[in-house]
Amino acid sequence: MKSQGLKNKKVYPGRRVFVGLSGGVDSAVSAALLKKEGFEVTGVFIKAWTPEGYPCNWKEDRRSAMKVAAVLDIPFITLDLEKEYKKEVVDYMIAEYKIGRTPNPDVMCNKEIKFGHFLKFALDSGADFVATGHYAELSKDKIGSEVLSEAKDKNKDQSYFLWTLTQAQLKHTLFPIGHLQKSEVRKLAEKFGLPQATRKDSQGLCFLGKVDMKEFLSRYIIPKKGNVLSESREVIGYHNGALFFTIGERHGFTITQKTEQEVPLYVVSKNVEKNTITVASKIKFSSQPSSVSLSNVNLINPTSLKLLGTEEKLSCRIRYRQEKISCQLEKDGKQVKVIFDQPQMGVSPGQSLVLYDGENCLGGGIIN
């Protein structure tokens, strides 16, 4: 972990915040709002890992972040987390695909990089908080515990990616734009004179926004041609490796035999050992579990433990931006079992399942 550019300034106790500046409008406005509210703000650009041979505009993003710091007249730091990002986000993602699971690198990036290494660096450097441009809200309950909730702008809400955060992390975290609509954020950028007002949203995981995932993974996982099967086990096409597919996916394989109906086909199961995938129409989707078990469970508020084994109705998401699904929780040995009111399609091991009570994000776990 390396940093550049930290300046010595007078510290106001309890009001010093390091803002993760990505170069985009959301983090820029977050920094501006915090400065307006009287915080002592330092902008931090996190340099992540970039694969050789792929286009990645991290230098452009860094310049954009520096412009924010210049306009707001705040110190600017470049925090090099390239090695950490490669090991804890990229290597994790590749390892999961190699065993046939579907990882969520955005979740891991938040857990290990933004609210792991970045938060530790900020606190070690004398900050009281870190802030990001995430669309989510924080509040406190009656006993003073941190409560993570969905953002006001439901189309931009990012609580799904924040389920791993703990009370220890959240008490040092600020989400300044969670109460705003995206359109309001852009208007504020104009008001503050920020050049990001008209800049396109940043991609988050730099190279993944511009490069086909299967093409990237083929650098680390050797493609191997295999059969596409119908539900009746008939060979109807081919693909370049079962490891590359996730349940519910409808692209990336080739159908050579006519099926009963000319309708979109979805991956309903895969056999990594035999290197086959089975596809079916959405109407005939056969792989619809009524429950799943979770590992690596994190409950943000300790009081949520009382919901295990009760009949209280909660909701969950197994994909980002999915409509919330009604469910209940049960204790399943050392794991947590989530029982859906209705069977669900597109459930894939390795995915994040995130739990909600109304708009409050309770936490989540990894689907087994």
- Residue extent(s) of CATH 2.40.30.10 domains in the chain: 291-367
Segments in the chain forming alpha helices (H): 25-36, 58-72, 82-85, 91-98, 105-108, 118-124, 167-170, 182-191, 213-217
Active site residues per annotation: 109, 206
Rounded percentage of the chain residues whose pLDDT exceeds 70: 89
Half-sphere exposure of 132 (CA within 13 A, CB side): 24
Given a cut of 70, whether residue 178 has pLDDT beyond it is yes
CATH no., domain 2-133+176-209: 3.40.50.620
d(CA 164, CA 299): 8
Fold of domain 223-281: SH3 type barrels. (2.30.30)
Q: In what order do the strands lie in the sheet with 276-281?
A: 254-255, 235-239, 226-229, 276-281, 265-271
CATH class, 291-367 region: mainly beta
250-295 pLDDT, tens digit each: 888 999 987 655 778 889 889 999 999 999 886 455 567 899 999 9
Given a cut of 80, whether residue 172 has pLDDT beyond it is yes
Given a cut of 60, whether residue 203 has pLDDT beyond it is no
What confidence category does residue 44 fall into, taking pLDDT thresholds of 50, 70 and 90? Answer: very high
Strand, coil or helix: 279 = strand
Q: Phi and psi (nearest 5°) for 233?
A: 75, 15
What confidence category does residue 249 fall into, taking pLDDT thresholds of 50, 70 and 90? Answer: confident
Task: Decide which of 141 and 121 is more confident.
Answer: 121
Token pair 């690198």 in the structure block, residue: 105
Q: What is the pLDDT of residue 278?
A: 92
Q: How many residues does the chain have?
A: 368
Strand, coil or helix: 16 = strand
Rg (CA), the chain: 22
- Residue extent(s) of CATH 2.30.30 domains in the chain: 223-281
Least confident of 75-79, 117-121, 155-159, 267-271: 267-271
181-195 pLDDT, tens digit each: 999 999 999 999 999
- Residue extent(s) of CATH 3.40.50.620 domains in the chain: 2-133+176-209
